[in-house]
């Protein structure tokens, strides 16, 4: 990728002079690179300021992860050995996320398909939660003029309320001192700064200022930062970092999983043959009425 202009806030990002036919490029299908909007890469700079990479492996959750751009970004910038769970509730979008993460090939990424409310048993578990919230999409108007016709004040209000529901489920998942990265691709305060202020007032969160160089042209908002297309080479993105002030660290096994049983050693041996470091994993199964307590086979999970 020589002689290409780099993205100022992410060392591995570059601007292409024209849009090629990615579907005809075997390197794209092989996961050699990911096509992502440049403003979204600001997540990498925020992680670099808010996370101490010397602290060792982290537990991270990308709560609304599809199609996977920010997940691949997190997979690359988190400390080595970190655990990254990438979640998407909508089935069709989950399938796209699954495909993109499989291509990216990071061994420490894991997937789930759940509503945010389903994670209640993991209170205090994560060091970092990224919430790229569903929004009214005002930051995409230049890129997708058709989206303008779908916008309305009622839609903004609806999205702001939906975002608060997801936020209320996401914040308890953080350990004390854990970091929430909140982002949208819209401009209005109702979905952006107002939600951040609400978190600080109602959910025991603390807004954390970020330091972006002046030549990046990132605009400071009352409680966050905004990319504007006329200032940066990218589309509209709002980003804020918050730290959890209260809460309790995770206590033991997640609630709702009491029926998990260890995988039989004969089946463990089959899985171990496919892993480079099998000692780093433990295996569990859930009982089923048809096959007994050792079926179906569960996916391996990191042993914390």
- DSSP code of residue 300: P
User: Two tokens at 241?
Assistant: 């970092």
Q: 102-106: long-range contacts at Cβ-Cβ below 8 A with a sequence spacing of 24 or more?
A: 102/31, 103/29, 103/30, 103/31, 104/31, 104/34, 104/68, 104/71, 104/72, 104/75, 105/31, 106/72, 106/75, 106/76
Q: Which of 185, 200, 227, 294 is catalytic?
A: 185
d(CA 292, CA 287): 6
User: Cβ(285)–Cβ(298) under 8 Å?
Assistant: yes
Q: Over the Cα atoms of the chain, what is R_g? A: 20
User: Cβ(163)–Cβ(134) under 8 Å?
Assistant: yes
User: Two tokens at 179?
Assistant: 């970091």
d(CA 122, CA 120): 5
d(CA 224, CA 131): 14
The residue with tokens 């109602």 is 202
Residue 53's CB is within 10 A of a number of other CB atoms, namely: 13
Q: Is 185 a catalytic residue?
A: yes
Q: Could you give the residue numbers annotated as active site?
A: 185
């Amino acid at each position: 990728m020589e002689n290409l202009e780099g993205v100022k806030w992410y060392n591995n990002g570059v601007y292409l002079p024209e849009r090629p036919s990615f579907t005809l490029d075997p390197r794209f299908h092989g996961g050699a690179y990911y096509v992502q909007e440049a403003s979204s890469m600001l997540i990498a700079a925020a992680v670099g300021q808010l996370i101490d990479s010397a602290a060792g492996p982290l537990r991270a959750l990308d709560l609304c992860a599809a199609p996977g751009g920010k997940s691949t970004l997190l997979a690359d910038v988190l400390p080595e050995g970190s655990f990254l769970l990438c979640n998407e509730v909508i089935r069709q979008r989950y399938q796209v996320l699954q495909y993109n993460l499989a291509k990216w090939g990071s061994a420490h990424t894991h997937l789930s398909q759940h509503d945010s409310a389903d994670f209640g048993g993991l209170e205090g578990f994560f060091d970092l939660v990224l919430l790229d919230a569903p929004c009214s999409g005002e930051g995409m108007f230049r890129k997708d003029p058709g989206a303008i016709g779908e916008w309305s004040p009622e839609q903004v209000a609806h999205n702001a309320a939906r975002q608060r529901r997801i936020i209320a489920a996401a914040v308890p998942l953080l350990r004390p001192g854990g970091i929430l990265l909140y982002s949208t691709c819209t401009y209005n305060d109702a979905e952006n700064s107002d939600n951040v202020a609400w978190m600080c007032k109602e959910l025991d969160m603390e807004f954390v200022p970020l330091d972006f160089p002046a030549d990046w042209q990132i605009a400071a908002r009352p409680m966050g930062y905004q990319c504007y297309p006329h200032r940066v080479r990218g589309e509209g993105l709002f980003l804020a970092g918050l730290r959890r002030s209260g809460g309790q660290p995770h206590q033991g096994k997640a609630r709702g999983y009491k029926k998990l049983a260890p995988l039989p050693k004969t089946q463990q041996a089959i899985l171990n043959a496919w892993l480079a470091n099998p000692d780093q994993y433990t295996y569990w199964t859930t009982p089923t009425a048809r096959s007994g307590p050792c079926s179906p086979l569960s996916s391996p999970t990191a042993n914390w």
